[in-house]
Amino acid sequence: MKKLNVEQIYSEYFKTVYKYLICLTHNADIAEDFTQETFCKAISHINSFRGDCKISVWLCEIAKNLWLNELKKRKKFRTIDITEDKIDAIYSLEDEFLDKQEEMLILNQIKKLESPVREIFYLKLFSDLTFKEIGEIKGKTEIWARVNYYRGKKKIKEAVANERKL
């Protein structure tokens, strides 16, 4: 296996790891800290990379393990206010309120999904990963990720439609 260039790996995969950690942590500051920690750990264990998966998958696995260890210490989860990253637009107050309500309704439905499906949504929506990449991260196939995403999407649509009727 050829020698891995640490600087190249960092510049190429920083965004992927950061976005993945945003999905896990629901907090931009924590995600940034854990992204740095992920690369520190990866650099110190670069010789243990066997090359049997993509580097991005290996890095995301390190990131996930670091976060899970942190959760064990904390014993609690945090949520993210996704409106922080929302692009500013010119809306009337009513439109902004309705958009916020719609967003919250959808996010609440995503939170109610079962764990693997919910994680697929976070990876797809917030990290903009492909179904193939999501499948690799989860140790499954692209088809598995795609099918579970669309099943979850159908559940969300039904739940939102029911909420609107109320």
Q: In the chain, what percentage of residues exceed pLDDT 70? A: 81
- Whether 84 shows a pLDDT value over 60: the answer reads no
Q: What is the pLDDT of residues 118-132, one digit of tens each?
A: 889 888 887 778 899
pLDDT tens readout for residues 33-49 = 999 999 888 888 877 77
Q: Tokens at residue 74, please?
A: 């904390």
Q: Would you state the pLDDT for residue 45?
A: 82
pLDDT at 116 over 50: yes
Q: Does CATH number 1.10.1740 belong to domain 6-74?
A: yes
- How many alpha carbons fall within 13 Å on the CB side of residue 4? 18
Q: What is the DSSP letter of 114?
A: -
Please give the torsion angle defined by the CA atoms of residues 26, 15, 58 and 73, in that order, rounded to the nearest 10 degrees: -30
- CATH for 84-165 is 1.10.10.10
- Give the span between the Cα atoms of 40 and 96, in whole angstroms: 41
At 43, give phi and psi (nearest 5°). Answer: -65, -40
Measuring CA to CA, which residue among 8, 13, 20, 1 is closest to residue 137?
A: 20
Predicted model pTM: 0.47
> What does each C-alpha distance from 48 to 11, 36, 51, 63 come to in angstroms?
20, 19, 9, 16
Question: What single string gives the DSSP state of each residue in 91-143?
Answer: --HHHHHHHHHHHHHHHHHHHHS-HHHHHHHHHHHHS---HHHHHHHHTS-HH
| Shared fold status for 6-74 and 84-165 | no
Please report, for the chain, the start and end positions of each structural domain, with discontinuous segments joined by +. Answer: 6-74, 84-165
pLDDT above 50 for 89: no
pLDDT tens digits, one per residue of 4-27: 677 888 888 889 889 888 888 888
State mean pLDDT over 108-114: 85
Q: What local confidence, expressed as pLDDT, does residue 109 receive?
A: 84
For 27, the token pair is 């907090």
* pLDDT, the chain, mean: 78
Looking at residue 4, its pLDDT comes to 63
